[in-house]
């Protein structure tokens, strides 16, 4: 089990927890999707795992090591990378500078070759390496944000609603990219509103309700479960 979260309690203000004892896990090479109604604490859960929301209880284990108390800026060194939902690039730096500044933990001589690898995986970015990141389109920004997270060779990649604000075509592109990344052995934890697209590429999924996981199952099964579909996924099966 590469990532294990046990009874996590977290919130911005003391006594006011948003994540209320959530337990999830992810196996090596798995895509795990976290779904749930608005305000269920999905976003806060992965932010808490990433060290961005104060944790008051529970445990986060990465490959067996306890990383619950690791400060946010040291998470990438532990092998955990995070792509926030919005403002996930540095707009006044070029595409290349965005990648370079994110490669701080790599050995100095390893940065440029790694950037070249990223350009190979994301050819769009290679073409726009000298552009200010703020001038990229929505889909390209998302690609840059993912590339920026991957540059440090993380073992687990967590994304907060990567489909938000993208057209269906771009969503398909981004998700195809995620599948491609997974095929190289990376573990992906995905928080999503777009249940259909996420479950289509996911292996397993959790439905989070009021700060705890309420259901867990194979992505395919969850999609077909009528009760869950009606309650939390916001679509009703005709048949």
Partner 1 sequence: MSLQFLLDGVIAGSMIGLGAIGVTLTYSILRFSNFAHGDFMAWGAYAALAVVGALGGSTALKPLSFGLPLLVALVVAMALTALLALVLDWLLFARLRARGQSIIVVMASFGASMALRSLLEFIFTSRPTYFSRAIQMATPLGLGIKITADQVALLLLTLVLVVGMHLFMAHSQRGREMRAYSQNPALAKVVGIDVAAVVRATWVIGAALACASGVMVGVLVQIRPLMGLSLLLPMFAAAILGGIGSVRGAVLGGLIIGLSEAAAVQFVGAEWRQAVAFVILMAVLLIRPIGLFGVAER
**Binding residues for partner 1, per CB under 8 A?**
50, 52, 71-77, 82, 84, 87-93, 97, 100-102, 104-105, 148-149, 152
Cα 13 from chain centroid (whole Å): 24
Which one, 114 or 204, has the nearer CB to partner 1? Answer: 114
For residue 90, the minimal CB distance to partner 1 (Å) is 5
Q: How far apart are CA 233 and CA 222, in angstroms?
A: 9
Q: How far apart are CA 16 and CA 43, in angstroms?
A: 16
Which one, 75 or 197, has the nearer CB to partner 1? Answer: 75
Which one, 40 or 158, has the nearer CB to partner 1? Answer: 158
Beta bridge mates, 188: 31, 157
For residue 26, the minimal CB distance to partner 1 (Å) is 19
For residue 73, the minimal CB distance to partner 1 (Å) is 5
Other C-beta atoms lying within 10 Å of the C-beta of residue 165: 14
Nearest Cα neighbor of 197 from 225, 217, 178 is 178
Classify residue 20 as exposed, middle or buried by CB count within 10 Å of its CB (0-12, 13-18, 19+).
middle
DSSP per position, 107-143 = -GGGHHHHHHHHHHH-HHHHHTTTSBGGGS-HHHHHH
Q: How far apart are CA 80 and CA 55, in angstroms?
A: 17
For residue 219, the minimal CB distance to partner 1 (Å) is 27
Which one, 132 or 201, has the nearer CB to partner 1? Answer: 132
For residue 150, the minimal CB distance to partner 1 (Å) is 12
Which one, 46 or 208, has the nearer CB to partner 1? Answer: 46
């Amino acid at each position: 089990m590469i990532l294990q979260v046990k009874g996590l309690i977290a919130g911005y203000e003391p006594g006011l927890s948003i994540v209320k004892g959530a337990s999830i896990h992810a196996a090596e090479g798995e895509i795990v999707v976290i779904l749930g109604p608005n305000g269920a604490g999905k976003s806060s859960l992965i932010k808490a795992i990433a060290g961005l929301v104060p944790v008051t209880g529970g445990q986060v284990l990465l490959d067996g090591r306890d990383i619950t108390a690791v400060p946010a800026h040291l998470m990438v060194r532990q092998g955990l990378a995070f792509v926030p939902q919005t403002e996930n690039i540095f707009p006044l730096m070029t595409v290349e500078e965005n990648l370079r500044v994110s490669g701080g933990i790599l050995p100095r001589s390893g940065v440029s070759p790694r950037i070249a690898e990223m350009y190979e995986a994301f050819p769009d970015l290679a073409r726009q390496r000298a552009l200010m990141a703020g001038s990229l389109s929505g889909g390209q920004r998302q690609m840059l944000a993912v590339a920026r997270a991957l540059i440090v060779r993380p073992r687990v990649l967590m994304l907060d609603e990567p489909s938000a604000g993208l057209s269906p075509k771009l969503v398909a592109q981004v998700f195809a990219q995620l599948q491609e990344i997974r095929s190289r052995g990376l573990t992906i934890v995905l928080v999503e509103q777009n249940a259909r697209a996420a479950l289509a590429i996911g292996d397993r999924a959790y439905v989070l309700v009021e700060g705890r996981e309420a259901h867990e199952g194979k992505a395919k099964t969850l999609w077909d479960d009528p009760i869950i579909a009606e309650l939390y996924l916001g679509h009703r099966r005709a048949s």
